[in-house]
A and B are shown apart, each in its own frame.
Chain A
Amino acid sequence: MRKLYELKIMEEAISWVKFNKKVVIATVINTWGSSPFEIGTKMIINEKGDFLGSVSGGCVEASVIEESLNLLKNKYLFKRLDFDVSDKNAWNYGLACGGSLSVYIEQIN
């Protein structure tokens, strides 16, 4: 069941853009195993690294923020991020849930 919280995140994204901030919207596009959040869950990040919402309940947020800042810095429009427990970087992400997930990040323009 979709939650109303998503509306708050989207409205906040618009208001950040209106305040001349660069904003990235991150969406969970695929999950395997026991990832905690459902597909479609969103988070927004601005160029200062401020964020609202979450995509995994804490497991990969730091990495999503870092990738989002890189996206803005390199002026890319979108990128797909895949996080896997069997990934060699798994410890960095700390997917304690034992699942995997893909997150799509895109700049609002």
Chain B
Amino acid sequence: MKIDILQEIIEKKISKKRFAVLTNLMNGKSELFELGNQLSDDFKVHKKDIENYFSHKKNGIISETNIFIQNYTKPIEVIIVGAVHIAQYLIDFSKNLNLMITIIDPREYFTKKQKFQNVKIINEWPEKILKKIQTDNNYALITLTHDPKIDDSALQFALKNKFFYIGALGSKKTHDKRCKRLKEYGYTSEQINSIHGPIGLKLGGKSAPEIALSIISQLVLEINRLNV
């Protein structure tokens, strides 16, 4: 592999582009592929297969060819509402995963006095910030405040927009009340049931890191199940 290609992979990875690297296993040549790009003569013949593997994010040797394709996907955007203790551990656990975290909390005390590293923190009400975001199936929402004043507007936004995962922290009782409120706002049972609540896989833990682990586990499970 040419060092220039390696350099380009790194740059594209850092700038969070969606692309793939193609390698011809017979002659050792490789090149980058993005949708709409021209392919060189080494790969042109297999254009259809390459595009097919690319759109399905499928990695491997394209069947009946000598072309190896490796897809690089955009990191998953995780919006966390609530700069609470559990959020700290969510950041810890997500370090080696392909996740981009944004934390929103209108409470200045939580956002300004706490140290969060390598994440975007926004001190604002969720409804004000979220309406500026164009989401897609790469987005996840996690609400952690269990305060309806803060969480509900974020959840409503998520139900009306594209999110592959919506999870809300709170006990069974808190979640039942939440569902009831959403029903009164006019959301269907199907919409409401798409919220993972109480959030997380049942690991049985009660401490902040254990809860964070259960949330991250559920998120990873959904990412792999839905092939996000």
Contact = CB atoms under 8 A, between A and B. Distances in A.
Contacts of A77: 28
| Interface class of chain A by DSSP | mixed
B224 interface: yes
B220 A5 contact: no
Contact of A78 (B28, B96, B98, B220): B28
Contacts, number: 70
A80 B68 CA distance: 12
A38 B224 CA distance: 12
Contacts of A40: 59, 70-71
Given A14-B3, A17-B3, A104-B23, A1 B220 contact: yes
Nearest to B219: A1
Contact of A104 (B3, B25, B73): B25
Q: Number of contact residues on B: which range applies?
A: 20 to 34
B70 A39 contact: yes
Contact of B98 (A4, A39, A104): A4
Interface string A76-109: 0110100000000000000000000010101111
B96 A3 contact: yes
Contacts of A3: 96-98
B224 A1 contact: yes
